[in-house]
Structure 1
Amino acid sequence: MTTLADPVPGGRPGARLRAAGLTADLAAQGVHGIVLAYVDTAGIGRVKTIPTARLEAAVAWGVGMSPVFDTFLADDSIVTTDVLGSPDGDLRLYPDLDRLVVLAGQPGWAWAPVDRITQEGERHPGCARTFLRRIVADAADRHGLAFKAAVEVEWAVGLDSAPGAEFVPAVSGPAYGAARQVELSDCTADLLAALAAQGVDVDQIHPEYAAGQFEVSVGALDPVAAADRSVLVRQTIRAVAQRHRLQVSFAPAFLAEGVGNGGHLHLSCWRDGVNLHSGGAGRYGMTAEAESFAAGVLAHLPALTAVTAPSPASYLRLKPSQWAGVFTAWGRETREAALRVVTGTTGRGDQDANLEIKPVDLAANPYLALGCVIAAGLDGMTTSLPLPEEITGDPARYGPEEAAARGVERLPTSLPRAVEAFRADQVLRSALGPVLADAVTAVRLGEAAAVDGLDDAQVAAAYRWKY
């Protein structure tokens, strides 16, 4: 379980003593440095690193970093808001000792996610991890709710010998094929070993649909820990692949055509140890609260895409009839619906039943994505929003009249349209707060402007190796 308390200057009670003990343990394991990791508004993983001997100081007083990174774009250019994007100021990065782990894929290194506070010791309003932790804590205080979450990770494996920035698949076997698994068996075996050593429980790992594509599904945790795990898993995949002379892309669309990489979110609501998505009187065992939570997510999906599909490349992936979930619809185990109700196998529903949110990719900051999805669901729960009629099959088959009658709408088809929906959504903007909401808007519009005039192939190439 992730600690829900904010860091404080001088360290939380007992933190310095704990850090001193961890420093000795890490040194005994040959760890020389610690990666302090966070994800910026654009979805790029950013880091600072410290020698292992500096862990106690970092836990007590943090490590400095400019707040300008909140308005970095994926190409490292900078946009501004009324309070972010200037060269002024400093923040302190505080590692979360509960999530510190030795990196099996990077010998000599450990890893920890960070929260960011101001020099005055206040929450930084642009910190996505702090935002998610606050949403989770508020849900517990106001609604008695806890959550379990997991993020699917899809990636494409390419040859590092490919010319320029091109993508050349490292495997030639068919989708989901045994041949592809054999071709990459040494690398994926090393990956499984590394994840196990890091305490990541893997449910499955397998070849996926697109050229050179694989997927790993991991066990569910509380939302903050699940977002941390998503970042750690990607760091590990990249490190292991590099040792096998391979390169990986987590980009939503690593090629202009075809299926891209998703980052589907799985989320369930719990109260007093009981899963609200199972054992209820609603459809497929959902409780009334679970149905309203799902309805809230559906209602806010157009605006959510500005957070869950935040790159111009995201809209190369979000196409009908490609299992990307581009319509505001739900269904039981319906992979073309944006919201898939997963009931679990008979005998496991009370543990496994959950919602899968599909129009999500790995350009999304996982802390922002999970926090906004939870805020949307809580809005539905608070207002007892009714869940509409479910759909089966592919909603792309509906004509305009039938789609309207069923409440099925196409999600935004471009990043600027998603931003327009986001700007009009007061629930999401209020949950984020003005500083972070404005950063989301500025960064998304900056990304759209950066690729204005490029064709699909050029857009895919621009983001292929950014994520």
Structure 2
Amino acid sequence: MVKLFSKEDVLKKAEEYHVKFVRLQFTDIFGVLKNVAITVEDLPRALDGLILFDSSAVDGIVTEGETDIRLIPDPDTFVIFPWRPREGAVARLICDVAKIDGTPYPGCSRGILKQTLKEMADNNLNLYAGSRAEFFMFKVNESGQPTIIPHDLAGYCDLTPLDLGENARREMVLTLEEMDIEIGSSHHELAPGQHEIVLKADGALAMADKIATMRFVVRTIAQRHGLHASFMPKPIEGVSGSGMHLHLTLFSEFTNIFFDAGVSNKLSDNAQHFMAGILEHARAITAITNPLVNSYKRLIPNDTAPRLRGWSIGNRATMLRVPGETGGEVWIDVRTPDGACNPYLALAVLAQAGYEGMRQELPLSKPLECKPGSLFKTQNIFLPLNLGEALESLHKDKMISKVLGKHVMGFIQKVKQAEWNRYQEAVHPWEVNEYLSRY
């Protein structure tokens, strides 16, 4: 539900709920949630954008060119953390980041998404998004450090006593709902220790805020239960990885313009052009939605991993899938993203690619409905096989580069290329086990 909070509303609510500390939260270029904590006495200054900080916190790395930046809180994101004391309560505000002169800071990923959505809104188009986020809960060792030992041996939709994380997951859901985040469902996933929480659709900016908040809440509640929650895409060899599907719908005023009752698959021309735009830029988009070396261990060729640059209704190996229409609603399930991505940048590049597809009226390819195994021989429909390939595609894609801007592109290329190089240079245990005794 959209809220319209003013500065005065925030100050009144902070007083009413005895707030003592406020966390000014923002996300760096690489999707890591950061915050600056202030006391409630400084809240009026914060709401006026007078809290200054160092740009390295937003850029994700320290360089010689740091500048001062302003944190500009969004009053609509004010919420009180339910697990904190009611006296001396702690609240949060999600912030945009601006330069000292008040203009948008080019490293602010939330600002990048807002700019993309504004361009669409100026043409009476509003993007809505939902999310299905998967994660593992692992045991910790005697020192409190995370292990990769799952906390249970349950499977898909199992209940207690097999699902030992049910209590923690229930508390996560209740906490998120207290923070005005609507939950569609939650359950145990396929792999031991793996869970899923579904966030109901909202405006794309609000959904990016909710995803960032959800990851923070999940990890916090897991820790309170003596567990470590991880959104790492593929933490355990031989079992399913964790994704973060994004469900996209486009509205013009109150009309879902992806829906057309007059065609057999209910996909309007707008939906088809939007999907074609995403597929046109799919390889570059993958560098944003799947930003880790480890991301590509999840995107392996099998019957369910979304490895194919295509769309389908029933084939879960495709990047895009269109679930069956229900009650006049149609949405696009983007299956590739994982929980390590920056949700603001992921939604920005998907939105712009789809919008460009509509503007250019790009034709949609035929659905890839045959068995995935028969498609894996067709190399040109693969998504990137590794982070190196994805970064190369990103470097060549002028449209996606323009969405991100030179500042963000520069940092992504620098940091992620270095990450890929480190991985390439490392000698992995598999190599030692495979080759040392034989050669």
What TM-score does the superposition give when structure 1 sets the normalisation length? Answer: 0.85
For the structure 1 residues 301 and 457, does the alpha-carbon distance in structure 2 shift closer, same or farther, using more than 3 Å as the test? farther
- Taking a change above 3 Å as real, the CA distance of residues 284 and 238 of structure 1, as seen in their structure-2 partners, is same
Which secondary structure does the structure 2 equivalent of 1:286 belong to?
coil
Maintained 8 Å contact 2:163/2:188? no
CA RMSD across the alignment: 2.3
Q: Which has the higher contact order (CA 8 A, sep 6+)?
A: 1
How many Å separate the matches in 1 of 2:50 and 2:427? 43
CA offsets, 1:82-118, max 9 Å, x none? xxx3353111112211011111234432222110000
CA contact (8 A) 2:52 2:69 kept: yes
User: Which residue of structure 2 lines up, in the alignment, with residue 75 of structure 1?
Assistant: none
CA distance in 2, matches of 1:252, 1:180: 26
More strand by proportion, 1 or 2? Answer: 2
Q: Determine whether 1:375 maps to 2:355.
A: no
Q: Give the 5 Å matches for 1:124-203.
A: 124-141=105-122, 143-161=123-141, 164-179=145-160, 182-203=163-184
Structure-1 residue corresponding to 2:436: none
Question: Which position in structure 1 is the counterpart of 2:390?
Answer: 418
Give the TM-score normalised by structure 2.
0.91
CA offset digits 1:114-134 (Å, max 9, x no partner): 100001111111100011011
- Separation of aligned partners in 2, 1:205 and 1:456: 36
Q: Distance in 1 between matches of 2:284 and 2:263?
A: 27
Moved more, 260-269 or 321-330: 321-330
Change (3 A) 1:393 1:178: farther
What is the distance in 1 between the residues matched to 2:365 and 2:391? Answer: 25
Mapped contact 1:66–1:87 kept (Cα < 8 A):
no
Shift in Å at residue 65 of structure 1?
2.2
Q: Distance in 2 between matches of 1:455 and 1:281?
A: 57
Q: Partners of 1:391 and 1:339 in 2: how far apart?
A: 10
Q: In 2 relative to 1, CA 354–330 (structure 1 residues): closer, same or farther, beyond 3 Å?
A: same
- Please give the per-residue CA displacement for 1:416-456, whole angstroms capped at 9, x wherever unaligned: 11011011111111122222222222222132134333366
Equivalents in 2 of 1:229, 1:21: separation in Å? 23
| Cα offset, 1:43, TM superposition | 2.1
CA distance in 2 between partners of 1:161 and 1:322 (Å): 35
**Most deviating of 329-338 and 291-300:** 329-338
Corresponding residue to 1:100 among 72, 75, 78? 78
Give the deviation of 1:32 after TM superposition. Answer: 2.5
1:365 & 1:160 partners in 2: Cα distance? 26
Name the SS of the counterpart of 1:264 in structure 2: strand
Conserved in 2, the CA contact under 8 Å of 1:158 and 1:248?
yes
CA contact (8 A) 2:84 2:90 kept: yes
How far the C-alpha of 1:144 sits from its partner, in A, is 1.7
CA contact (8 A) 2:23 2:93 kept: yes
**CA shift for structure 1 position 312:** 0.8
Alignment pair present for 1:238 and 2:210:
no
| Deviation string, structure 1 residues 372-396 (Cα, Å, up to 9, x no partner) | 0001101111110011101214433
Instruction: Decide whether the 8 Å contact of 1:23 with 1:53 is kept in 2.
Output: no
Match for 1:446: what amino acid?
Answer: A
| SS state at 1:58 partner | helix
SS at match of 1:284: coil
User: What are the residue-to-residue correspondences of 1:337-348 with 2, within 5 Å?
Assistant: 337-345=318-326, 348=327
Contact 1:148/1:222, CA 8 A, preserved across alignment: yes
Unpaired segments ≥5 residues, structure 1: 5-13, 73-77, 80-84, 459-467
Q: Which runs of 5+ in 2 are unaligned?
A: 431-439
2:113 and 2:204 map into 1 onto residues whose CA distance is 8
Residue pair 1:172, 1:180 contacting (<8 A) in 2 also: no
Amino acid at match of 2:182: D
Any conservation in 2 of the 1:41–1:443 contact (CA below 8 Å)?
no
Output the amino acid matched with 2:178.
Answer: A
Question: How far apart, CA to CA, are the structure 1 residues paired with 2:396 and 2:293?
Answer: 20
Q: What amino acid sits opposite 1:58 in the alignment?
A: A
* Contact 1:331-1:341 within 8 A present in 2 as well: yes
Candidates 21, 28, 32, aligned match of 1:33: 21
Tell me, in whole angstroms, the C-alpha distance in 1 between the residues paired with 2:280 and 2:294: 24
Specify the alignment match of 1:88 in structure 2: 66
Corresponding residue to 1:392 among 369, 374, 381: 369
- The answer as to 2:261 corresponding to 1:305 is no
Q: Distance in 2 between matches of 1:259 and 1:165?
A: 19
Tell me the secondary structure at the aligned position of residue 136 of structure 2. Answer: strand
Match of 2:11 among 20, 27, 41: 20
**Between the two proteins, what is the percent identity of the paired residues?**
26
Number of aligned residue pairs: give it: 426
